[in-house]
Amino acid sequence: MSRHARLTVFARAALLGMATLVAPHAAAQPGLVKPPDIAARGYTLMDADTMQVLAERDGDLPLPPASLTKIMTSFVAASELEAGRISLSDVVPVSVNAWSTPGSRMFIREGTEVSLENLLHGVIIQSGNDASVAVAEYIAGAEDAFANMMNDHAAQLGMANTHFANSTGLPNTAQHSTARDMALLTRALIQRFPEHYAIYSERQFKYNDIEQPNRNRLLWRDRTVDGVKTGHTGAAGYCLVASAKRDGMRLISAVMGADSDAIRVRETQKLLQYGFRYFETRQLYDAEATLKAAEVWYGEADEVAVGVPQAIFATIQRGRYEDLEATLDLPSALEAPIAAGEELGELRVMLDDELVAAAPLIAKDTVAESGFFSRMFEGVVLFFKEFIG
């Protein structure tokens, strides 16, 4: 049995569902068009399925996040909703502290009660600082305690260069994030809480007889954009995290520190257009697919179906799909017993000399050990087979 089973990706019958992406920058692919110049202090363009960074400058530079902070505020709320500790129908009392918070407002009134569902719409659509503080106080008792929850979630998501000090994004020297961290957060929000993320696509929200539009103007300019959030302070400049989906491919753009609202919108459009025009994301393998029937020794079955634990995607330069080459790296002799889900080897997908995706190869079935005499006979056969080989 050959140690390596090789195949071209485009020839497979099972090309269908979460990637284990290894190559961090598709821009390393030869012949790729250079990303556009972006007028911002830091930016990142990321594929949502593979986490492939398609374009970036100073993506890890800590910057004031302004109201991009509210993406994490809503993420924490969505996590608490999922855990069942709060409900959208909960009635939240509005404190003097929340009511008096400066900056953008939902216009809630001190001493009243507002449903959590309305408050979350106020946080996301109207970018209400008053709503953000009310949500923080309701979930954690105080805004500083809520900031601790935000930082716990940031650590879990791998946001290595982020620290939150409040729920609003109002200026605070201890609060900072990066374009890449904001893209990571947005990806997690979209994938884990799609129903909650749907609020980000709503164009306006009315509360207290005051209707306010969503501040993300790309919702009107590009029908493929369905989020996410703007931010602005004097220190942060103009920021915009946006996400769009075209032909099954979702991109996330994070632009921080632009000089105006018009510039952040324009530069975001440039990034999204670049990503969709020059890249494609393909689902290479379905988690249900059998990639190989591997020979088994000392087992009650002679073969075991081998596959991947989750579907595999790759983001590559457009026109290069048929150049992908996959390697199934398995031991020369698999021996029973084998448990379903047991890791047996590794799948690697290459483009030229670059590793673009990798995943463990697992057994899809259980193979029990055969009887004593059968194992003894096969042991002799295997010995001579390996000796001759």
Q: Write out the catalytic residue numbers.
A: 67, 70, 127
Decide if 30 contacts 58 (C-beta within 8 A). Answer: no
The length of the chain in residues reads 389
CA distances for 211 relative to 208, 309, 365, angstroms: 8, 47, 57
